[in-house]
Homo-oligomer: A and B are copies of this chain.
């Protein structure tokens, strides 16, 4: 087999979760991109709005990109598409709902019409250059999600996408077992599968368990109900709408992304709500409280979301009141637990009753748990297995599960973002390692911030700053007036006031006593002084002006 006969499997950049937000498959010089999602910043990534994969490899090889296939419409799979499409131009393939959500996203950024979007149906087979891509339906917490069977002369690779084996999904459309079995019969060379819940024993409950839990909430709620979830959790919107119909409440979507996504999903038939049930927020706020359910974002405790603002009493249009029932229909993204807990506490403090995952089945995961992961492995019976969609510890656990169902350890590759794998001659081997990093997006700027800047921020944040301006006479190098001292984030104003004379004295001594006019040496001396006085190390900046 020539050099060209190998399939290169590339988990592109990302933040911890391997191959989650973007992957590439490369064969015969052509590149197939799968997904283009964003990530949310970790707690120590100060000031960052969101993060996108580092896809410099695609930019460098833009002309070789054959197509972009999107598995489903969640942010972590479509959120970077506007960035990707400004850097490379390639046709996008997505199922109807996914395409609709991409269009909403592009339109909001003034990019409507810039992209070539192709609508596909789960089950379609696409011929994209050297790649034969067989799409198959998977259950997830959004309708119209797909996995991919990718055939090249190097073999057949199955890419699960985010999936679960829900036997009773809300849309009555289970994961396509038949197609998976058919792949298996044909012989699967590599399976790449979702590892998110590899540490959860058993089976993930069906989405359908949420119905009865919502019924109980609707039955008991003495007043208004406010349900918070991700704007892309279309399946959850459907369930809340169904409960609203059953219990005779009117439903309003709140917030731009909720309103837009609900609109597109209804228009395309993925969300069925009688017109009589939907009202505007304005109308909802004038109805008796017992007849209303509002659906909004903020289930992750984001301070600027509607739930975040309600919890701190800073929402504009309405407030949380005693008698309200707030339902957080989601699971905290790792790192958000503290923010979510605080939000729940604040809502309780405002008199609301709060219902969340820990106390009622108002959320279930959209990802397969370990028994489902074993089922997928047994259904597909791949020769090689590559756990993806998870942090390293989850991939390692998924690898343990694969060994339990009989995949030899040497046929399992746990890799990180940027590590290229090659499938050729029936062997899967490690190839070179690319950067595989990620890029911070902050305001309008993409990639101007790096970990060095982040470290400076952390340093600023750890003990604050002390700014000292030292005006010297340019001839005598003596102080023209007292040094000016400003502190921020260091100590309380009263304590700072007590320290300022000491700082001034120190600087004066150095300048007049020591004849010192070096900014760095003065800063060092002030740092020592402050460490001695407070046992803390603020960033000290000294600016000498000579005139």
Could you say which of B443, B450, B459, B545 contacts A471, with CB atoms under 8 Å apart? B545
Q: Is the CB of B396 within 8 A of A348?
A: yes
A354 part of interface (Cβ distance < 8 Å)? yes
A393 part of interface (Cβ distance < 8 Å)? yes
Q: A477-502 vs B: 1/0 string, CB under 8 Å?
A: 00010001010111111010000000
List which A425-473 residues lie within 8 A (CB) of chain B. Answer: 442-445, 448-450, 452-454, 456-465, 467, 469, 471, 473
In the complex with contacts A345-B16, A393-B341, A456-B467 CB distance below 8 A = no
- In the complex, A416 Cα to B348 Cα: how many Å? 11
In the complex with contacts A337-B337, A460-B460, A535-B443, A492-B47 CB distance below 8 A = no
The interface residues of chain B lying within 8 Å CB-to-CB of A199 are 358-359
- In the complex, A334 Cα to B495 Cα: how many Å? 32
The interface residues of chain B lying within 8 Å CB-to-CB of A397 are 358-359
Could you say which of B354, B396, B536 contacts A445, with CB atoms under 8 Å apart? B536
In the complex with contacts A341-B391, A348-B393, A393-B354, A444-B534 CB distance below 8 A = yes
- The smallest C-beta distance from A493 to any residue of chain B, in angstroms, reads 8
- In the complex, A471 Cα to B469 Cα: how many Å? 10
The interface residues of chain B lying within 8 Å CB-to-CB of A444 are 534-535
Range class of the A interface residue count: 35 or more
Q: Is the CB of B334 within 8 A of A488?
A: no
The residue in chain B whose Cβ has the minimal distance to the Cβ of A454 is B489
A386 part of interface (Cβ distance < 8 Å)? no
Q: Is the CB of B349 within 8 A of A341?
A: no
Could you say which of B16, B43, B457 contacts A464, with CB atoms under 8 Å apart? B457
Q: Is the CB of A489 within 8 A of B534?
A: no
18 A-B pairs within 8 Å (CB atoms) are namely A16-B345, A341-B391, A348-B392, A354-B396, A356-B393, A359-B400, A444-B534, A445-B536, A448-B491, A453-B464, A453-B489, A456-B488, A456-B489, A460-B460, A461-B461, A480-B547, A543-B543, A547-B547
Sample of 20 further A-B pairs with CB below 8 A, known A47-B462, A334-B341, A469-B543 = A344-B392, A345-B392, A348-B393, A349-B392, A359-B397, A443-B534, A445-B534, A445-B535, A445-B536, A452-B492, A452-B493, A453-B489, A453-B491, A457-B460, A459-B489, A460-B489, A469-B545, A471-B545, A471-B546, A480-B545
Residue ranges of A at the interface with B (Cβ–Cβ < 8 Å):
16, 42-43, 46-47, 199, 334-335, 337-338, 341-342, 344-345, 348-349, 354, 356, 358-359, 391-393, 396-397, 400, 416, 442-445, 448-450, 452-454, 456-465, 467, 469, 471, 473, 480, 484, 486, 488-493, 495, 534-536, 539, 541, 543, 545-547
